[in-house]
């Protein structure tokens, strides 16, 4: 994961599109999980009739978060869908019940189409060494449904996971590259937000200038197609808003209300951040002149040394000092 994070950060700081790395992660996880699910389907299909219901029942009996996900997928569902259907709960017994109902509903639906002409048929054959199983029309569509449900879960989870890890790592890297003393900044972690240790839950960092005046920083890694999130950030009136891209209208609005916006999709975003920090009397140094490869190696080293848990402890210790 650290190697992936460092590559994403390098892409961001050099104005490139970082999303291909996230997509590569999603695809790798998808392939791995598809193999795992296919293996279980293969074994249960060999056992005979009603294999899908038996697979659901056996998965229900297994413990662990991963098996709960499988229970959802084998029923052609995902966690969000179940919670929407039930008003917020996704307990295992609920997942099992809805999964079986979903399977039966799909069976009934497919029966209605049996009499229709000129429909394409999907038949899936699963092979392993010298063995193979063939799924019938209905089972094949179940298989497609299972894999689709799994893909939705993995896709959403990967974007969220990589996004959270990248944002903190990116800010840490920026402060390291600009040589901001560690006593002069605080990275805001989720736990601090939950405990109400920061007033604004969306703030990602606080930087202190030489006069110990705080500057709030908010970071959003999103495309230009999410204007409402940018709107909300400007309304919070942070001192520095770092973002992938922002519309021209919002940039003009930010100037009016005194929020400094720096886009990563521009030339030398790191230099722009340095200029802003120095204008606010923050103790920092200009970024070193490096080739893209040198910068990539430097970022990789920073992220390799980055210990999120250690950083959290440092910040908690600092908070205790401030609140004495």
pLDDT digits (tens, 9 = 90+) for 8-67: 999 999 988 888 888 888 898 899 999 999 999 999 999 888 899 999 999 999 999 899
In the beta sheet, which residues pair with residue 241? Answer: 218, 261
* pLDDT at res. 312: 65
* pLDDT at res. 73: 94
* pLDDT at res. 163: 75
**Whole-angstrom distance, CA of residue 280 vs CA of residue 273:** 11
DSSP string, 282-318: ----PPPP--HHHHHHHHHHHHHH--HHHHHHHHHHH
- Domain residue limits, the chain: 2-159, 165-322
Buried b (16+ CB within 10 A) or exposed e, 283-294: bbeebeeeeeee
* pLDDT at res. 132: 94
Walk along the chain (324 residues) in steps of 10 and give the mean pLDDT of each run.
87 86 86 95 91 93 92 91 87 91 87 72 91 91 93 82 82 95 81 51 84 90 54 74 84 84 88 96 94 93 80 64 55
**Whole-angstrom distance, CA of residue 10 vs CA of residue 15:** 9
* pLDDT at res. 267: 83
* pLDDT at res. 248: 82
Q: Say if residues 137 and 123 touch (Cβ distance below 8 Å).
A: yes
**What is the separation, in whole angstroms, between the first and last Cα of the chain?**
38
Collapsing DSSP states into helix, strand and coil, what is residue 226? coil
Q: Which of 72, 74, 107, 106 is nearest to 86 (CA)?
A: 72
* pLDDT at res. 277: 96
* pLDDT at res. 63: 92
Q: At what angle do helices 92-114 and 137-177 cross, to 10 degrees?
A: 130
* pLDDT at res. 110: 80
* pLDDT at res. 225: 43
């Amino acid at each position: 994961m650290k190697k992936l994070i460092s590559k994403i950060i390098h892409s961001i700081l050099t104005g490139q599109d970082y999303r291909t790395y996230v997509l590569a992660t999603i695809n790798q996880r998808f392939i791995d999980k598809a193999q795992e699910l296919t293996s279980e389907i293969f074994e249960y299909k060999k056992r005979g009739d009603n294999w899908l219901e038996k697979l659901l029942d056996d998965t229900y009996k297994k413990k662990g978060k991963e098996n709960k996900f499988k229970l959802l997928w084998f029923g052609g569902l995902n966690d969000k869908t179940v919670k929407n259907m039930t008003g917020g709960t996704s307990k295992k017994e609920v997942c099992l019940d809805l999964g079986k109902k979903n399977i039966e509903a799909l069976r009934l639906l497919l029966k209605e189409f049996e009499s229709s002409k000129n429909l394409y048929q999907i038949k899936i054959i699963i092979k392993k060494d010298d063995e193979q199983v063939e799924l019938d029309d209905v089972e094949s569509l179940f298989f497609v449904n299972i894999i689709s449900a799994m893909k939705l879960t993995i896709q959403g989870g990967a974007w969220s996971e990589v996004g959270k890890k990248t944002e903190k790592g990116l800010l840490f890297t920026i402060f390291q590259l600009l040589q901001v003393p560690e006593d002069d900044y605080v990275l805001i972690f989720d736990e601090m937000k939950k405990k109400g240790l920061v007033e604004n839950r969306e703030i990602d960092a606080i930087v202190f200038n030489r006069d110990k005046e705080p500057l709030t920083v908010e970071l959003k890694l999103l495309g230009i197609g999410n204007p409402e999130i940018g709107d909300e950030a400007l309304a919070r009136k942070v001192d520095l808003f770092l973002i992938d891209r922002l519309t021209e209208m919002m940039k003009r609005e930010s100037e009016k209300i005194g929020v400094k916006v720096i886009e990563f999709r521009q030339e030398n975003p790191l230099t722009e951040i340095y200029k802003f920090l120095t204008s606010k009397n923050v103790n920092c140094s200009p970024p070193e002149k490096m080739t893209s490869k040198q910068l990539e190696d430097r970022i990789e080293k920073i992220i390799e040394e980055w210990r999120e848990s250690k950083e959290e402890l440092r910040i908690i210790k600092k908070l205790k000092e401030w609140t004495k």
